[in-house]
Structure 1
Amino acid sequence: MIKNYFKTALRNLWRHKGFSFLNVLGLAVGMTACALIVLYVTFELSYDSMHKKSDRIYRIICDIKTPTEVINASGPSWAVAPHIDGAFPEIESAVRVSRESFLVRRGDVKFQEDKSAFVDSAFFHVFDFELVKGDRRTALNNPFSVVLSESTAKKYFGSSNPVGQTLLFTGDAIPAKVTGVMKDIPENSQIRADLLISMSTLTRNLNKGLDDQWGNYGSSAYVLLKPGTNAKALEKKLPAFLEKMNGKQMKDSKMYATLFLEPLRDVYLYSTRDGSKTGNITNVYIFSMIAVFILAIACINFINLTTARSTERAKEVGIRKVVGAVKSQLAGQFIGESIILCLTAFIFTLIVSALLLPLFNQLAGKTVSSGIFSNLTFVGILFIGSIIIGFLAGLYPALILASFKPVLILKGRFSSGSRGILLRKVLVVTQFTISISLIIGTIIVYKQMSYMRSQDLGFNKDQVLILDTNGDKAKKSLKEEISRLPNIKSIAMSSSVPGGGNPGAYSEIENKKGDLQVANLDLYFVDFDYITQFNMKMVAGRPFQKEFATDTTQAMVLNEAAVKMFGYSSPDQALGKRFKQWGREGKIVGVVKDFHFRSLQENIKPLSMRIEPDGCNLITVKIAGSNLPGTIRSIESKWKELIPNRPFSYEFLDEFFDSQYRAQQRFGNLFLNFAVLAIFISCLGLLGLASYSTMQRTREIGIRKVMGASVSGIVNLLSVDFLKLVLVAFVIASPIAWLTMHYWLSDFAYRINIVWWIFALAGITAAVIAFVTISFQAIKAALTNPVKSLRTE
C-alpha cells in the first residue's frame, strides 16, 4: 500500500510539473536562506563556547566616577588582577590580557604582529585554548616566554619545531624564547591572538611596577570562579577590597572605581563597554526573525498552491472514498506528497547552500561555517526539519482534501467554498506583510549607511596616507625625507587619527568656577602640522604654532565638547585657563570645532590635544591626486632606507575611518539579500496563484473577449483582487516596520529620521512587483484566442 501511495504521489507531482516546480523552488529557496541564517545566528551565539569552564569565567569591568562624568571602562586598573587573585577564596585564578602590536624578526623574516597580547601565566588554566607543543602549566611562567599559533609558527619556522628557539622583538631586537605552540584561536573567540607573551615580560622588565599601579587602566582582566560561587555575592565584596587597597588614592585623585563581574559569554553580544561592542544581539534577533519569516513564506506558498488546486483532485478523493478509503489514508497520501516535496527541496537546499556558503561567508565578513557537511548534526537537524515542515505545511491541505463528500463531488455539485478562498487571501496578505516590512527595513538600513558616509565629519580625510612607525627611532627623519618628495601636499605626526583608538588621560582643567576639575579626557599627541593638515576649524584661540616656544610643553587645545564639560558657555571663555595632565602644566591656547574622531554611533566626546613629539608614532601624508602609485613607491623607498627592519605597510584614512562601519554595512548587505529572497518566494507563490486563478477563469476570459473586452481590461480584472491584498499588507506592515527599525536606529547617536516617503516607496515597489508577477499570466490569458478558451469547457 505504501509503495502504491508513493507511486501515486510521484505521478501526481509529475503530472502537475509547473506547480510542483514552484513548490520545490519556493521551499528550497526558503530553506536555503533559513539554513544560512541559522548558521550565522548559531555562530554569533557560539562566541567563547569552546571553554569548558566558560560558565565560571567572568570579565572584570569598571565604572570610574569623576566629578565630571562616569567612565564605563572595559577593564580595571593593572593592579586589580594580581591582587584580587589571593584576596578571595571564591576566585580560582585571575589573568590579564593586554593587546599589543610587535615587530617580530627571525633572520630575514619580519612581520608586524598586530594580533599579539601580553597574558598572565594562568592564561591556559583559565581558557581552554589547545596547546599542541609545550607545557600549558609552565609555558608563560618566565619573562620573555612566547607561545605562537600554528600558522604563526609555520610563518617563522616552517616545518621545524619552534619550541626552544628564539625570536627577536621590537626595534631593539629583544630575544624571546618560544615555549609553546597553540592551535589557531577560533574565530568565535573574543580573545584573538597569534602570539602570546608572558605578562612578566612587561611587569618585571619593560614596565616595572605595573602590578601596583591602581590608577593606570589599559588591560582586560578575567577571573575563573570556583564551582558553586555566586558571582553577584562576590561582586558585593569588591567595593571593600578596592577601598582597602586603593581608597586613599581614589580620594586624592577624585576618581572612584567600582568593579563588576561580566559573564564571559555575554561580552561579545551584550557588552556596551568602550571597545567591546563587537557583536550585536539586536542583529541576531532581526536575522532570526527573518529566517522564521522566510520559512513561513515558503510554507504559505505550499499551503496556498495546494489548497488552490484542491478542486482538481476532488474527483480523485471522491472515487477513493467510494472504494473504501478513510480520512486517515487520504490525509496520509497528501501529507506524504508534501513530505516528498520537502525532501526534494532538502536535497536542493544542501546543494545550493554548499555552493553559496563561500559567498555567504564573504558577505558576513567571517567564516560562519567551513562547509555544510562539516557539521553532520546540522544536516541531520535540517533533514528532520524538512520532514516536520512537510508534515505541518501539508496537514491543513490534507485535512481539507480528505473531508470532501464523495456524493456531492461525483454529482458535480462540489464547490471549494469561501473558507478556502479566505484562507488563501489571509496567507497572501501575511506573505506581503513580511515582504513589505523587509523592503522598508532595507531602505532604512541603506539610508542610514549613506547618511553616515556623507555626514560632515569636521575634518578632511581624503587622499591621506597613514604610516605606523610603531615608535621607531627614525620616525622624525622619515617625516622630513617624505616631506621633500614631489606630490606631497602636507605631512604631520600624531598618536592617533580619527577612527583610531586613543587613550583617556587623567586631567585637571580649570572650570568656570576657577577650580581644577578632574576629568578623564581623550588625548591626542600631535605636532604643529596636524590641525592644519586635517582642515580642522578653530572656533576660539589659535592652533599650535612653532613661534610660541612654550607650545611644546605648556599648551593645550580642547574641542567644543570638552569646553562644555567644564561649564563654559562659549569657547572663548576657556582660553587661558589652567590644565594639569600627565605631568604637564600649562594653559589652554585654542578650541577646535567638534569633529567625529570616533564612529557616528557615538556622541562626540571631550578631547584634548598636546604637542608631544615622542608620543607621535603615526605619520599622516596628504598626497596630490596625480601619480598615486609612483608616490607610494617613493614613500616605500624612503621607508626601506630609514627603517629597514620594519615591513612597509600603509592605509588610507578614508578606508580606515569607514572600517568602523563594516559590521553595519555587512548587516545591510545581508538584510538586502534576504529581503530579495523573501520577495522572490512571495512572487513564486503569487505567480502560482495567478496561474491557477487564470486557468479557473479561462471560459470567463473567452466570453469577455468575444463581448469586446480589451487586453488591458482583462489584465486589470485579473490583477485587482491581488493588488487589494497587497494594499492590506502595506497597511499592516508599515507600523510593524516603523517600530522595528526605530529600535534598530536607537543604536546610533547620529541617525536619520524615518520619513513617510520610505513607506510609500516600499508600498509602490511591492505593488509593482506583484503587478508584474500577476501580469505575466494575465497578459498570456488575455492574448489567448477566445475560441480556444471556450472549447476548454
Structure 2
Amino acid sequence: MLKSYVVIAFRNIRRNLSYAFLNIFGLTLGVAACLVIFLIVRNELGYDSYNSKADRTYRVTLHALDFNSNVSLAIIPAMRIDFPELEQATQFFYQGDAMIKIGESRYNEHNVAFGDNQIDKVFDYQWLAGDPNTALKKPNSVVLTESIAKKYFGSSNAVGKLINFENRLDVKVTGIIKDLPANTSVPFSFLISLSSIENNLKGMMGNFWAIPGGSYAYIVLPKNYSIQQLNSKMPAFIKKNWGADVAKAAVLPFQPLKDIHFDQRYINNIITPTSKDTYYALIGVALLIIITACINFINLATAQAIKRAKEVGMRKVLGASRPQLIKQFLGETTVLVLFSVLLGVGLCALFLSKAAAWMSINVDASQLTQATVIGWIATITVAVILLAGLYPSFVQSAFQPVDSFKNKNAGASGKLTLRKGLVIGQFAISQIMIIGTLIVARQMDFFKNQDLGFDKEAVVSVGLPDMKKRDVLNQQLAGYPGIKEISFSSGAPAFNSNFTSFSSVELGFPKDDVTEYKAIDEKFTDMFGLQMLAGQKIWKKNEKDTVHKVVINETMMQKLGIQNPQLAINKHITINGDQKATIVGVVKDFQSESKHKKRRSCVLEYNPDRFFMASIKMQPANMSETISYIGKKWSALYPDNVFQFQFVDEHIANFYKQEQKVYVAFQLFSYIAIFIGCLGLYGLIAFAASQRTKEVGIRKVLGAPVSSIVALFTKEFIYLIAIAFAVAAPLGYYVMHSWLQNFAYHINIGPGIFMVAIVSSFIIAAVTISYQAIKAAMINPIKSLRDE
C-alpha cells in the first residue's frame, strides 16, 4: 500500500510539473530562510550560554546617576574579603586596540584585554597549551587564542615566545586557548595578566572613586545561594568603602551574565546591547515566511483538487475509503515536503556563510549537523506537512462520486472563499514585511545622518601616541592641498570617553550630576560646524591663565535651570569635584553617542594636556592620496607605532552595528517572503487561466480587446490587496511602533510609508499577474474552443 502511495505521488508530480516546481521551489526557499533565521537567532539569544556557570555568574555594575558597566578596580579585591562565600570573583580590563610587536614587525590588534588569575575559573576556556592555574599568575604573561597564535607563530609552539605590547611591556606566552565563541560578551584575542599593568593603575587599584573605562568585574555565586542574599549586604559594603552619603544615592546592581547582551540601559559595553524583541521579530519573520510557503501549497493543492475530482470519484466507486484517500494525499504532500526540506537544507548550507558575512554573524554550515538543529529541521518538516497537507487532503477526499463526475466541485464557493482568504493573508504578510523594511531603513538613515548637530563628512581621526609632537604634526600636515583643517582634542564629537561631575551652588544645583567632558582646541567648533547659541567659542588659553573657561551644551543649561542661553554667560559651575569654571558660551546639542540614549550634559574646555586625538578634515577629491600622505608623516613622527585612522562617519555607524544586522535581515527575508508570495500568485493565475480558456476564447470572438482580458484576471486581485492592506496596516504599525520605543530618538511613522507599501503591493501583483494574463489573452480563440 505504501509503495502504491509513493508511486502515485511521483506520477502526479510528473503529470503536474509546473505546479510541483512552484510548490517545491517556494517550500525550499521557505525552509532555507527559516533555517538561516534559526541559526542567527540561536547565536544571538545564546550569548554567553557556553559558560557552564552562566546561570550563577553576574557582572558587578554601578548605578549612581546613570547605569555604568564599568566599575572601580578596587571592588573585586574588597568583595573577596567581605564576601568569602562567593565561589569566584574576577576582574577584566578591556583595552581594545593595541600595538603588538613581534621581532621587528608591528601590528595593530583589536581585542586586547587584561585579566587576573581567577578569570579561567569564571569563564570556560578550552586550553590547548599551558597551565590554566598559573598562566596569568605572574606579571608580563599573556594567553593567546588559537587563531592569533597561528597568525604570528604558525605551526610552531607559541608557549614561551615573547611579544611586545605597546612598546611598554615584553610579555611571555604562557597559554593557548581555543578561539572564543562569537556570542561572548567578554571577547579577547590577547589576554595579558592584570598584574602586568598594576604600576600604570596604581592610583586606581585601591581607589573606589576611580572608574577607568574598560574595567569590568564578575562574580560567581555558590549553588543554592540567591542573588537577593548578596544584594541585602551591599548597602553596608558601599557605606564602608564610599561613605554613608554615597550609600543613599548609589547601588551596585548585579547584572546576570546572560542579560548583558540585551540590557540596553548600559551603553558602554564592549559589544553594543540589542533588545531581545529584535530577535523575536526575526522569529516572527521566519513564521511569516513558512506560513506564506504553506499558503502557496494549500492554494495550489486545492486548485489542483478540481482537476483531480474525477480521480477521487473513480477511486471511491472502486471502494477506496476516505481515510485511505487522506493517507494518499498526505503521502504526496510528504514526498514534496521532504524533497523541499532536503533542497532547503542544501541551499542553507550553500549560502549560509555569505548570509552570515552579510549580516556580520558568525554561523557556519557545520552547525547544521548539531542535534538541536537537526531537531529543528525535523520540527519544520512535520509542521509544514501538517500545515500544508491536512486541509487539501480533507478537501480532496471529501468529493462525492456523483458530484465529481458532474464537475460540481469546481464551483464550490466555500473553497474559492478559503482560497481568497489565503491570498489576502499572503498579501497581508507581504505588506507587513514591506512596512517593516521601510521603517527599519528610515530609522537606520535617521541614526547615521539626521540631527547629529555637527558635520561628520570627510573627517578622519588619528591617535597621538606622544602629544609633545602635536605641533610638529600640525605643521607638516597644514600645507598639504588635500587637507582643509586640523583640530586637536580628547575626541571628535562622536567620541565620548571622558566623564566627570558637575554642580552649581550659585544656580541652585548643589548635587553632583554626570557630564561628558571634552578637551578641545580653538579650531574644533568651526571645523565640526558646532552651532553657538550664545557667548564665545573656545579659544587658545594663555599658559599663565589659571581661570577655567568652559562652553556648555543645551542639555546642561536646562539642567541648571536656565532657559535663555544668554543668561548662562558668566555663570559659574564646579566640575571634576572641586574645579571652579566660568561659562563663556552655550553650544547647540550634538550627538556624542548613539541615539539609544538621550543626549547628556557636555562641557567643552581648552585643555592641551588631554589632546589625545587629531581630527583632520579633507578635501572630497583624492582622499585616499591624502590619507596616504597623513600616514607617511604620522609614521615618520611615531616610528614605533602603527598608523591607524577612522572616519568619523564610520565610527558613528559602529554605534548601530546590531541594528544594521536587523536591517539587513529584514531586507533579505522580506524579499524572500515577497518572492514566495509571487510564486503562489503566479501559480493561481496560471490555474485560473487554464480554467477559463474557453471563456477567454468566447470573449475574444465577441470582440473583447486584450486589455479587457487582462483586466478580467487582475480585477479580482485588486480588492484582495485592498483588504490585505486593511489588515496589514494596523498590525505593521503596532509591531514597528513597539520596536521604535527601544530608542530614545526615533522617526515618526507617517502615512507615506503605508502608501509606499500598498503601491508596492499593487506593482508586485501587477508584474506577477501580467505575464500569464497577457499570455491567456493572446491565445488564438480557435485553439481555446476547438475541444468544445
Q: TM-score, normalised by structure 1?
A: 0.94
2: CA distance, partners of 1:561 / 1:682: 49
1:547–1:338 CA distance, 2 compared to 1 (3 A): closer
1:311–1:61 CA distance, 2 compared to 1 (3 A): same
Deviations 1:502-529 (CA, angstroms, capped at 9, x unpaired): 222133445523x654222111122333
Moved more, 455-464 or 283-292: 455-464
Overall identity of the aligned pairs, in %: 37
Shift of residue 757 of structure 1? Answer: 2.4
Aligned ranges 1:15-26 → 2 under 5 Å: 15-26=15-26
- Are 2:610 and 1:636 equivalent residues in the alignment? no
1:614 aligns with one of 599, 609, 615:
609
1:154–1:412 CA distance, 2 compared to 1 (3 A): closer
1: CA distance, partners of 2:432 / 2:277: 17
Shift of residue 563 of structure 1? Answer: 1.4
Match of 1:519, SS state, is strand
Assess if the C-alpha contact under 8 Å between 1:706 and 1:786 holds in 2. Answer: yes
Number of the residue aligned with 2:569? 575
Aligned ranges 1:297-336 → 2 under 5 Å: 297-336=292-331
Aligned ranges 1:345-744 → 2 under 5 Å: 345-371=340-366, 373=368, 375=370, 377-379=372-374, 381-383=376-378, 385-410=380-405, 413-415=408-410, 417-471=412-466, 474-513=469-508, 516-546=510-540, 548-549=542-543, 554-582=548-576, 584-744=579-739
Shift of residue 626 of structure 1? Answer: 4.1
Shift of residue 83 of structure 1? Answer: 1.0
Match of 2:87, SS state, is strand
1:122 aligns with one of 118, 122, 128:
118
Number of the residue aligned with 2:155? 159
Residue type at the aligned position of 2:26: G
Moved more, 142-151 or 3-12: 142-151
1:270–1:520 CA distance, 2 compared to 1 (3 A): closer
Deviations 1:58-98 (CA, angstroms, capped at 9, x unpaired): 1112210xxxxx31112333322221123224421111222
1:759 aligns with one of 716, 729, 754:
754
1:96 aligns with one of 82, 85, 91:
91
Assess if the C-alpha contact under 8 Å between 1:602 and 1:749 holds in 2. Answer: yes
Aligned ranges 1:49-68 → 2 under 5 Å: 49-64=49-64
Number of the residue aligned with 1:259? 252
Shift of residue 14 of structure 1? Answer: 0.5
Assess if the C-alpha contact under 8 Å between 1:719 and 1:771 holds in 2. Answer: yes
Residue type at the aligned position of 1:368: V
Match of 1:622, SS state, is strand
2: CA distance, partners of 1:454 / 1:165: 47
Moved more, 385-394 or 466-475: 466-475
1:107–1:413 CA distance, 2 compared to 1 (3 A): closer
1:773–1:571 CA distance, 2 compared to 1 (3 A): same
Shift of residue 379 of structure 1? Answer: 4.1
Deviations 1:161-220 (CA, angstroms, capped at 9, x unpaired): 23233322224x3222322122222211111111112222333x2221523211122322
- Are 2:265 and 1:272 equivalent residues in the alignment? yes
Moved more, 41-50 or 604-613: 604-613
Aligned ranges 1:113-152 → 2 under 5 Å: 113-152=109-148
Give ranges in structure 1 of 5+ residues lacking alignment.
65-69
Shift of residue 44 of structure 1? Answer: 0.7
1:418–1:630 CA distance, 2 compared to 1 (3 A): closer
Residue type at the aligned position of 1:47: Y
1:391–1:249 CA distance, 2 compared to 1 (3 A): closer
Assess if the C-alpha contact under 8 Å between 1:85 and 1:92 holds in 2. Answer: no
2:787 aligns with one of 779, 788, 792:
792
Match of 1:91, SS state, is coil
Match of 1:85, SS state, is helix
CA-based RMSD: 2.2
Shift of residue 315 of structure 1? Answer: 1.5
Number of the residue aligned with 2:211? 217
1:788–1:486 CA distance, 2 compared to 1 (3 A): closer
Match of 1:621, SS state, is strand
1: CA distance, partners of 2:671 / 2:579: 58
Match of 1:609, SS state, is strand
Number of the residue aligned with 1:8? 8
Shift of residue 732 of structure 1? Answer: 0.7
2: CA distance, partners of 1:546 / 1:730: 61
Deviations 1:676-734 (CA, angstroms, capped at 9, x unpaired): 21111111111111111222222222222222222222222222222221111011111
Moved more, 188-197 or 271-280: 271-280
Shift of residue 556 of structure 1? Answer: 1.9
1: CA distance, partners of 2:697 / 2:619: 71
Deviations 1:541-563 (CA, angstroms, capped at 9, x unpaired): 22222364466762222111111
Assess if the C-alpha contact under 8 Å between 2:31 and 2:380 holds in 1. Answer: no
2: CA distance, partners of 1:322 / 1:521: 86
2: CA distance, partners of 1:230 / 1:547: 55
Shift of residue 349 of structure 1? Answer: 0.9
Deviations 1:337-365 (CA, angstroms, capped at 9, x unpaired): 10111111112212221222122112211
Number of the residue aligned with 1:344? 339
Shift of residue 154 of structure 1? Answer: 3.0
1: CA distance, partners of 2:312 / 2:711: 35
Residue type at the aligned position of 2:24: V
Match of 2:639, SS state, is coil
Assess if the C-alpha contact under 8 Å between 1:372 and 1:379 holds in 2. Answer: no
- Are 2:40 and 1:46 equivalent residues in the alignment? no
2: CA distance, partners of 1:20 / 1:641: 68
Deviations 1:393-449 (CA, angstroms, capped at 9, x unpaired): 111111121122223334555555222111111111111111111111122222222
Moved more, 325-334 or 80-89: 80-89
Q: TM-score, normalised by structure 2?
A: 0.94
2: CA distance, partners of 1:399 / 1:547: 86
Assess if the C-alpha contact under 8 Å between 1:109 and 1:156 holds in 2. Answer: no
Shift of residue 103 of structure 1? Answer: 2.5
- Are 2:175 and 1:183 equivalent residues in the alignment? no
Deviations 1:587-619 (CA, angstroms, capped at 9, x unpaired): 222222211122233322101122222322111
Residue type at the aligned position of 1:527: D
Number of the residue aligned with 2:108? 112
Residue type at the aligned position of 2:147: S
Match of 2:686, SS state, is helix
1: CA distance, partners of 2:347 / 2:3: 30
1:7–1:511 CA distance, 2 compared to 1 (3 A): farther
Assess if the C-alpha contact under 8 Å between 1:575 and 1:590 holds in 2. Answer: yes
2: CA distance, partners of 1:62 / 1:24: 55
2: CA distance, partners of 1:722 / 1:187: 46
Number of the residue aligned with 1:67? none
Moved more, 359-368 or 53-62: 359-368
Deviations 1:733-752 (CA, angstroms, capped at 9, x unpaired): 11001111111222233322
